[in-house]
Structure 1
Amino acid sequence: MAICDTCGNDYDKAFQVVMGDRRGTYDSFECAIQAMAPTCAHCQCRIIGHGAEHDGTMYCCAHCATQAGVKGMEDRV
């Protein structure tokens, strides 16, 4: 069995996620998301999808980017 890096659970169905040079062992997608997903610079939610990026700053959506002062970002064109 393997121990989850987020919650410490010793679980027989744990899995590993590799993202660039980061690696972690998790017992659920919830724990993997908590540990690995970027956070929106405006609302601080975890970005599960593509999100929106401007000058190296990540946002969960165009609305949050606009609220943070980014011009010209749209969710739909």
Structure 2
Amino acid sequence: MAICAQCGNDYAKSFDVTFGGANYSFDSFECAIQKLAPECGHCGCKILGHGTDHGGVIYCCDHCARQGAA
């Protein structure tokens, strides 16, 4: 059992993620996303796919990249 790094739940079916040299335990993908996924530089949503990078800022889509660069 491990304590979730996001919500603090102690869960028997937790999983571990190594990200940026740090190790984390999570009880769900939802918690892993909330803790580790980058946020869009325009709308703030969590980016679950590749996203798009423009000028060193990551965006969830081309629309947000155009809005953020404006």
Amino acid at match of 2:2: A
Q: Which residue of 1 aligns with 2:52?
A: 52
* Identity among equivalent pairs (%): 57
Matched, 1:63 2:63: yes
Q: Per-residue deviation at 1:67?
A: 0.8
Query: Over aligned residues, Cα RMSD in angstroms?
Result: 1.1
What is the CA–CA distance in structure 2 between the aligned matches of 1:37 and 1:8, rounded to whole Å?
18
Unaligned runs of 5+ in 2: none
Q: Which residue in 1 is equivalent to 2:17?
A: 17
- TM (normalized to structure 2)? 0.93
User: Higher Cα Rg: structure 1 or 2?
Assistant: 1
* Deviation sequence 1:38-76 (CA, Å, 0-9, x none): 000100000000000012211000000011126xxxxxx
Give, in whole Å, the separation in 1 of the partners of 2:43 and 2:11. 32
The structure that is helix-richer by fraction is: 2
- Deviation (angstroms), 1:18: 1.2
Higher RCO (CA < 8 A, seq sep 6+)? 2
Q: Runs of 4+ in structure 1 displaced over 6 angstroms?
A: none
Give aligned pairs, total.
70
Please give the per-residue CA displacement for 1:4-59, whole angstroms capped at 9, x wherever unaligned.
01000000000011123132110000000000000001000000000000122110
Q: Which runs of 5+ in 1 are unaligned?
A: 71-77
